[in-house]
Structure 1
Amino acid sequence: MAHLVPPAVARLVRRAARRRDLRRRARRIGVVSLLLAVLVTTAAARPGPAAAAPPVTWRQVVIPGTDGAPLMASVAEPAGPGPHPLVVMPLPWAAGEDQFRRSQLTAAQGGYTFLLYATRGTHQSGGVTDLGGPKDIADVSRVIDWALAHTSADARRIATMGLSYGAGISLLGAAFDRRISCALSMSGWTDMRDVLQNNGTPTLGGLLFTSWGSVTGGADRRGAPLRDFLHWDPARLAAWARPRSPATYLERYNTWDTALFFAQPWGDSATPGGRLGEFFDDLRVPKRLEMRPGDHGGAEFSANTMPNEVSASAMRWLDHTLKGQDNGVAGEPAVRIRPVNSGPLFGAGRPYEEYPSWAAMTAPARRLFLNASRSLADSPAPSDSHVRLVAGAPTVADSGVIAIQATAEAAVGAQLPRPLALIPPGTGALWATEPYPDGRALRGTPRLHPTLTPTAPRGTIVAYLYDLDPLGFGRLMTYAPYTFDDRTPGTAFTADFPLRPTAYDLPAGHRIALVVTTTDSRSLSRNPPLAALTLSSSARSPSSLTLPLR
């Protein structure tokens, strides 16, 4: 068909095609040139008069870990002569190096040698995962050895820091390597038992943690810890968790005077901070604890795209502890919190509440009794009450989608209201206070003290505290499951267990509601099919709720 195209038109088409090809090549050259310019500026070039950031160098490296496992890493450091304080950051499982590149380069521009590495068996590193075990811990020291031999790092000023899995490894590394003078944990754990269970109830986070460890080679010859989790052997799990828990090494931190920084969300569903407050108060070292709204890693998520409050606070702590800067950290109280309902962007627009300790943050305890009228009252009612629950059915009181819902709600500054009146009888029960005309401040760890009569030897209940508005909609303040074992069916017993610590400001005119059900999406209920239990209260054995209220 070419003979149908006039020669003049064909020439015009060929010329246009050549021009398009030249433009495409020019764009490619321009893009490559721009990328090279950005990389050079970010990594090594000395800035001109208008540049604000000092020059840094950046390179990818492979570090031999314990038993020779290759650990993929990168290091950024000031271009000028050292020595420079060293920060070692083990990566979390779910986020790679790129998620922390901005923090890494910013720290290097601030005068730090900053080394990111993927723990064994994760991302591109070799070996198999150790789930916070001895090889993971020893790898921290091997990385420090490498940094001291191959970078401008100062052996007298070394810190570890991390998010999620990397946070736990950072704390554990500091318990075994005395060269580490400072450790920072963001959305980390202090007691591995809190990851696996809550009041004897297996957690969904624990199942995901042990399953992922098994898939990536972290199980031992017996298949533990996943096998012990699936067969639910609390004694074996506790023994496995103990050496992987920073809380086990409390006195070592105190003896070595290791400065410790913690940033934790109130609603962390992966690494709950159930015992963090008590552990923090037992530390006799330079320390800081910051509590914010949200779920696991939520407040830290934007660190690679924009200025981030958690990262900025961590760097202030490092500037003071490693560099000795007089930046105000030394004069600030040890505990800084924002309540669950602090507003959008994880409460960033609200000033911190500051306290000298976790105990000082905790409000005075007030005991309320579960009465037959479904009220929470200051004294037990003279008449007995009984509520029968059949196990298994989910309700609208559920704590929400793990790691997603609480983070989204904290980001926008508003919770999804639950219509608690829609809880079907027999699947859950609700008790409520009278409205508080001036509101209240909940600060600390609530406790539930119920009398239970089961139809099976084992079972699970879930207790929720809700902010109940005048229209009957609830907003979650805190919750916790509780599991019992080896009970005699038909025989009443008294339980006592803590809910998760929280800080929540109850608005004026709202009530506090206690909801009790038998299942929650973040926990693995231990109720046999169609089992039932009765929650009762009497003058002889009153069921009660203790709230830390101001």
Structure 2
Amino acid sequence: MNTKPLLALLGGALMSVHAWSAPEYLADVDITSFDGTVLDANLFIPETPAPTEGYPTVIFTNSWGLEKHQYHFQAKELAENGYLVLSYSTRGFGHSGGLVDVAGDNSIKDVGVLIDWLESNYPVGKLGMAGISYGGGISLMSAAKHPRVDAVAALSGWADVVEALYPNETVNLVWGTLLVATAFQKEAELEQIWSDLRDGENMDQVINFGAQRSAVGYVNEINQNGTAVLLSNNFADYLFKPNSMTDFYSLLEGPKKLMLNPGTHAITEILGGNDGHIWSTSFRWFDHHLKGEDNGIDTEPKVDMTVRISNKLEQFEDYPVTDESTTWHLQPRFTLFNNGSMETDKYDGWSWSNEFHGGSDTFAGTGIPLISDALEGFGIPVYAPMMAINGYYAIEYNSPTQWETLKIRGEPKLEMWVEPSKEEVQLNVHLYDVGPLGLGRLITHAPITLHSDRAGQEQKFEVDFFTTSYDVPVGHRVVLAIDTQGYVYQKPEDTNYSITVPYSSSKVSSLTIPHL
């Protein structure tokens, strides 16, 4: 039998299908917004005919400092699968006009104009929004303000601007400075808000500015709209920490999914990290909620957590992922050259106290800002020589040796009694995985700045560490290391202070670790 004609016919048919499915690309689309501002966009249009209900449609919103070309490859892939895809530069970025307003009213109104423009020119079906960082935040805010947004993929986005820039009343100096410095066309208010935050002035206005731009304050609107929300954040993201996103996730009542990954802010998503899991899951999310595909994502576990360092993916039905925990109680150190301990029993000895001081950083820290955080996404942890941490400027507590793997999942919590010598003091609390050789690998950390008129008085504070997923190996210990400065955060103007830690049966400090 001569099969050549048949093969030629099949080959021609395949070529025709490929040519037919190649999307049309409009590289430069100018869309005039409500106030005359021209937004620069591009558009992929499927060559395939629109379904009866219209094209599934996705709007991509750029990250801070980037523009409409950021998602070119993702947009093209979606268009090849039948999506109408618009990517645009938010006002003040790229070739778009206007001024950056940090997801303010103008930026959110722009989204409504973009949706109107799409619906006026093309058959639009269900519509989704996606973006990394700034794009993720705007996507969530738009889901609250525009009921026409059916699904969202917010990657390294935020739910709470105040928590991002002022975690535990501590100025996020590195990230805040970077954001303000890289918005070249910004509203004057942004510069003023950042100045006030750094100086601790007009804080009511600062908090209000952040609250108006925080999706957590509009979660009821998102729930009423029934938006399907996918969230992805990274453990070493010290800008948009995963804690506020896990809190936001717990408030969502509609379809939702949460991904927590190693790495720092936005880098994991931009570089296609986590073995491509973030983007492939986002596409499946849209395929189900915009195209109606029965791909199973609605029945799978809602929470994906990738273990730090090992990069092992785990799935859980919901968040929190465990209700198991261990509480260790802090016991005193007896010289500046040794550590206190953490025991399961409460301290019940003689009243005692330890003291450490501000004025200098120590080897306890988060590594090189931005760089160390990014490397963690590739399995390279932040190390610290625990023996070199200066006991005059810090204090450490050792857990018992672990004789089985301690699988930490969630937010460890520290409850601690202190007596600060000044009204404003800062504490940087770190958890390390320490092996027999005394080298520590950072598990998680958190800053807290105490503002109080009770200087010289004993007081108790509570702080949640940043969400983590970490396995402490057999034979290792967890070490709590506390000092008063860190590269990421703005330190108090006066660092000449001391911190006294009291121990008694009525002043019990403790560390609680959630684990599997």
Please, what TM-score do these two structures have when normalized by structure 2?
A: 0.90
Local SS of the residue matching 2:29: strand
Change (3 A) 1:47 1:227: farther
Alignment of 1:480-519 (within 5 A): 480-519=446-485
**Cα distance change, pair 541–297 in 1 and its aligned pair in 2 (3 A):** same
* Candidates 307, 311, 317, aligned match of 1:356: 317
The answer on 1:522 being equivalent to 2:482 is: no
RMSD value, Cα? 2.2
Paired with 2:421 and 2:196, the residues of 1 have a C-alpha distance of 26
Distance 1:214 1:161, change over 3 A: closer
Identify the match of residue 451 of structure 1 among 417, 420, 442.
Answer: 417
Q: Does the residue aligned with 1:387 lie in a helix, a strand or coil? A: strand
Partner of 2:64: 93
Deviations along 1:233-268, one digit per CA (max 9) or x if unpaired, are: 443322111110011111111111110000111111
Distance 1:437 1:53, change over 3 A: farther
CA distance in 2, matches of 1:53, 1:371: 71
**Pair 1:425 & 2:386 matched:** no
Q: Identify the match of residue 314 of structure 1 among 282, 301, 310.
A: 282
The amino acid of 2:374's aligned partner reads: T
Q: Which amino acid aligns with 1:409?
A: E
CA contact (8 A) 1:225 1:237 kept: yes
Could you tell me how far apart the structure 1 residues matched to 2:48 and 2:18 are? Answer: 16
Task: State the match for 1:186 in structure 2.
Answer: 155
The answer to whether the Cα contact below 8 Å between 1:129 and 1:213 also exists between their aligned partners in 2 is no
Q: Which amino acid aligns with 1:395?
A: T
Q: Distance in 1 between matches of 2:39 and 2:178?
A: 21
- Match for residue 500 of structure 2 among 534, 537, 545: 534
> Does 1:117 pair with 2:85?
no
Inter-partner Cα distance in structure 2 for 1:109 and 1:127: 32
Pairing of 1:307-346 with structure 2 (within 5 A): 308-342=276-310
Larger-Rg structure: 1
Question: Match for residue 286 of structure 1?
Answer: 255
CA distance in 1, matches of 2:304, 2:19: 31
Letter in 2 for 1:301: I
Q: What is the CA deviation profile of residues 506-541 of structure 1, one whole-angstrom value per residue up to 9, with x for unaligned ones? A: 111111110000011111122613222222322221
SS for the counterpart of 1:330 is coil
Give the SS at the match of 2:397.
Answer: strand
2:112 to 141, 145, 148: 141
Q: Counterpart of 2:364 in 1: which secondary structure?
A: coil
Q: Is the 8 A contact 1:63 1:72 kept in 2?
A: yes
**Aligned equivalents of 2:224 and 2:17: distance in 1?**
48
Residue matched to 1:41 = none
Structure 1 residues 165, 429: closer, same or farther in 2, change over 3 A?
A: same
Secondary structure of the 1:308 match is: helix
1:390-405 aligned within 5 A:
390-405=357-372
In the TM superposition, what whole-angstrom CA distance separates every residue of 1:73-96 from its partner, at most 9, and x where no partner exists?
111121233231110111012333
Q: What are the equivalent positions in structure 2 for 1:211-250 lying under 5 Å apart? A: 211-212=180-181, 215-220=184-189, 224-233=192-201, 234-250=203-219
Deviation per CA, 1:3-41, whole angstroms, max 9, x where unpaired? xxxxxxxxxxxxxxxxxxxxxxxxxxxxxxxxxxxxxxx
State the distance in 1 between where 2:275 and 2:515 align. 35
- Aligned position for 2:9: none
Q: Distance in 2 between matches of 1:109 and 1:214?
A: 34
Percent identity for Structure 1 against Structure 2: 27
State the shift of 1:215 in Å: 4.9
Shift of 1:219: 2.8
CA distance in 1, matches of 2:274, 2:404: 38
Tell me the TM-score normalised to structure 1 length. Answer: 0.85
> In structure 1, what residue type is equivalent to 2:29?
V
1:430-473, Cα deviation, whole Å (9 max, x unpaired): 10112111121111111111111112111110100111111111
TM-fit CA distance, 1:53: 8.9
Match of 2:40 among 62, 66, 72: 72
- Give, in whole Å, the separation in 1 of the partners of 2:375 and 2:116: 40
Task: Compute the displacement of 1:213 (Å).
Answer: 7.7
Q: State the distance in 2 between where 1:94 and 1:219 align.
A: 17
Q: Post-superposition shift, 1:229? A: 1.2
- 1:202 aligned counterpart, secondary structure: coil
Moved more, 94-103 or 279-288: 94-103
Structure 2 CA distance for aligned equivalents of residues 473 and 333 of structure 1: 36
Three-state SS of the structure 1 residue aligned to 2:508 is: coil
- Deviation string for 1:280-304 (max 9, x for gaps)? 122110111011111111221224x
Runs of 5+ in structure 1 lacking a partner? 1-45
**Displacement of 1:306 after TM fit?**
12
Instruction: Compute the displacement of 1:52 (Å).
Output: 8.9
**Equivalent AA in structure 2 for residue 424 of structure 1:** N
| Corresponding position: 1:388 with 2:355 | yes
